[in-house]
Amino acid sequence: MAQIFPKGANRLPAISIVGVLGGGIFAILLVWYYFSPEYTDVGYAPEQPVAYSHRLHAGQLGVKCQYCHNWVETAPHANVPSTQTCMNCHSQIRTESLKLLPVRESWATGGSIPWVKIHQLPEYVHFAHNVHVTAGVGCETCHGRVDRMEVVALSEPLSMGWCLECHRQPELYLRPAREVTTMGFVQPADFVRRNLERIRTENIQPPTNCSACHY
Amino acid sequence: MSTVPHSAQTAQAIDDPPLFGADLSFHDVTELVSHHTEKKTPTAWFGAFALANAGLLLLVAMIAYLFWNGTGVWGLNNPVGWGYAIVNFVFWVGIGHAGTLISAILFLFRQPWRTAINRSAEAMTIFAVMCALIFPTIHVGRVWVIYWTLPIPNQMEMWPQFKSPLLWDVFAVSVYFMVSATFWYVGMVPDLASLRDRARSLWRRRVLGVLSMGWSGANRHWRNYEKAYLLLAALATPLVLSVHSVVSFDFAVSIVPGWHTTIFPPYFVAGAIFSGFAMVVTLLVISRKVYGLENIITVNHLEKMNIIILLTGTIVGFAYITEFFIAWYSGVPYEQYAFLNRAFGPYAWAYWIMMSCNLLFPQFFWFKKLRRSIPFMFAVSITTNIGMWFERFVITVTSLHRDYLPSSWDYYSPTAVDILTFVGTFGLFFTLFLLFLRFAPMVAMAEVKYVMPQADPHFYEGHGDGRAGADEPEVAPSVSPTS
């Protein structure tokens, strides 16, 4: 009887085993890297309606975070400042600047400045700024070195796993209350011990159950 | 039909009836089985396939409708959060138990009669498990995140709850599916090689050549094959018992009255075998007739299956009665109420359908005449599966619809979507089964051959058929008696 397969078919089993194994590993690595929020989301820096520079205001001029985001210690939502907050200074400084035209327009008409939201969470996640800020989570821990950003970009993945990293081991991330807004904070050598002490005395227990954030 | 010496037939009739009808030769078996995959597709097959496809289409449409609208299209209500989806899941998984029982456990117990039916029973198992797997998949609501049920590392750092029987179920059923499919395929390799060697066209030979993995029938191939088959049988055997035990944990591990009972695992396994064998009988009674295999799948085989149906039906019936006894004996009012409510409450109709189909009707198989009667066994195989579907319905729905809080008691009734989805799974099942009948060797030819009288090395010398005669010792003495 004639041969059913050409001679080259002898290589097929080896090729298919290597192909399936290699392809499988390749697919895993592909998903691992390219499908993670670290790849898809970090670095998101949309153009804003006003070319507001955090580097200038927060970095060089040293304006405190809470001067503009003034609800952050008391409300779940860290607000984007209202036009009035901008005008506190800009009614007197650089009143003719072209860059500030949309701000003055908003001031005159009462309309909002259409800021673009960068730190987006899905609608089924509840995050409260006040709880985190008062417990000692630094602004920088989640938002990065805002004092160096000309345009604000997303610096952390904001994925659930990323949240849980801190909720499971808060002692690695907490800082003293007075250092919450510090940019470029360096933890003291024995910070883990100090944090554990604080966690015990202040009873800081970050929840890891589903309904802590999904309710 | 062939030239088998007559002595073989007479010698065989000592205690058991012959396994196979007529004087079949090895070649006859090959012809009878292979022929159906090689002939032109019969018109009737197309008719049946079209009907099955219509059912499959219905299933796809119902699932699409469900995905678009969410589980609100089902009849679930507040106390009854598990309805048709779970009932149908357990029903189909149960049916999927006969295949592996026949192929693995009966293989280990050296029951030669399994060879005639194991291939189709295993096919039925695999297709039934596929139907079953649909339901837990679609019942989750957000089906696009079904991979959350699997332990896959992810950016959410979310991990399945290993303490939950629902997760054990995911593993139990998917492992069962994989092992059954492997077992089925490995068992089919020699037969696929037979088909390959008979094939006329090059492409048919090539496809079968790939599937039979270069099988040449060499001694070495047979040795490895039989070792592998034995190992797979040993691997599949605990699964027969474990899968439905784990399915029963879905209920038994909870604290709902009527579910929280230790009897569940053995009683579910018996019920699964009961319904699985009934389905095998239903399918084989038809296909042996349509495909002219009455000489290979004989009434003796069907009778043996009916005996198993009688046995497992009685076990299941005994379990129903035991549950009542334990409910009374436990002294727990909730438990007692759950069972009284089953038998005499608003779902009493379902309970008594279950009781009569599962406990009563199989008892007729005590009569030899009835268990060898094709029309009767066909009827009982159908009522058995109706009864077993209702068993799952009764367990799931009656326990939930009236539990601890009388204020939330309610009556559950399925919607049209529930019912049509279930009907649709039969479309999927029969589509796959018809494809199997058309393209695969539906009887394990090689295995049938090695339990035939001709397999005995002394057969062609006119004596020896693999059994001892009445006046011969069981094992021939190694030393000649004259020395």
Cβ neighbours around B269 below 10 Å, total: 24
Q: Report the C-alpha dihedral over residues A154, A157, A163, B156, rounded to 10 degrees.
A: 150
**d(Cα B429, Cα B279) in Å, to the nearest integer?**
12
Closest approach of chain B CAs to the CA of A13, in angstroms?
10
Long-range CB contacts (within 8 A, 24+) of B339-342: B339/B258, B341/B398, B341/B402, B342/B258, B342/B394, B342/B398, B342/B399
B299 close to B347: Cβ distance less than 8 angstroms: no
- Work out the percent of chain B whose per-residue pLDDT is above 90: 58
Residues of A in contact with B156 (CB under 8 A): 159-161, 164
B247 close to B171: Cβ distance less than 8 angstroms: no
Q: What is the pLDDT of residues A75-114, one digit of tens each?
A: 998 899 999 999 999 999 998 899 999 999 999 999 999 9
pLDDT at residue number A37: 86
Interface residue B196 vs chain A (CB under 8 A) = yes
Q: What is the pLDDT of residues B103-150, one digit of tens each?
A: 888 888 888 888 888 899 999 999 999 999 999 999 988 899 888 888
Interface residue A42 vs chain B (CB under 8 A) = no
Token readout for A60 is 């060089």
**d(Cα A20, Cα A14) in Å, to the nearest integer?**
10
Residues of B in contact with A38 (CB under 8 A): 155
Interface residue B13 vs chain A (CB under 8 A) = no
CA dihedral sign, ordered B331, B335, B341, B342: negative
Q: What is the pLDDT of residues B237-269, one digit of tens each?
A: 888 889 999 999 999 999 899 899 899 999 999
Residues of B in contact with A11 (CB under 8 A): none
Residues of B in contact with A36 (CB under 8 A): 155
CB contact under 8 Å between A161 and B154, yes or no, is: yes
Single-letter residue type at B171:
F
B55 close to B430: Cβ distance less than 8 angstroms: yes
Cα–Cα distance list, B110 to B104, B328, B348, B467 (Å): 10, 42, 43, 14
Residues in chain A: 215
On the question of pLDDT at B201 being above 70, the answer is: yes
Interface of B with A in 144-173 (CB under 8 A): 154-158
pLDDT at residue number B2: 42
B148 close to B450: Cβ distance less than 8 angstroms: no
Q: What is the pLDDT of residues B445-470, one digit of tens each?
A: 888 888 887 777 777 766 655 555 55
pLDDT at residue number A158: 92
SS3 B105: helix
B426 close to B128: Cβ distance less than 8 angstroms: no
Interface residue B142 vs chain A (CB under 8 A) = no
Is ipTM > 0.90 here? Answer: no
Residues of A in contact with B196 (CB under 8 A): 4
Interface residue B206 vs chain A (CB under 8 A) = yes
Indicate the domain borders of chain B. Answer: 17-461
CB contact under 8 Å between A4 and B196, yes or no, is: yes
Average pLDDT over residues B420-434: 96
Interface residue A5 vs chain B (CB under 8 A) = yes
Burial A34-72 (b: 16+ CB within 10 A, else e): eebbbeebbeeeeeeebebbbbebbbeeeeebeebbbeb
Query: Which of the following CATH numbers is that of domain B17-461: 3.30.465.10, 3.50.50.100, 1.10.1530.10, 1.20.1630.10?
Result: 1.20.1630.10
Interface residue A118 vs chain B (CB under 8 A) = no
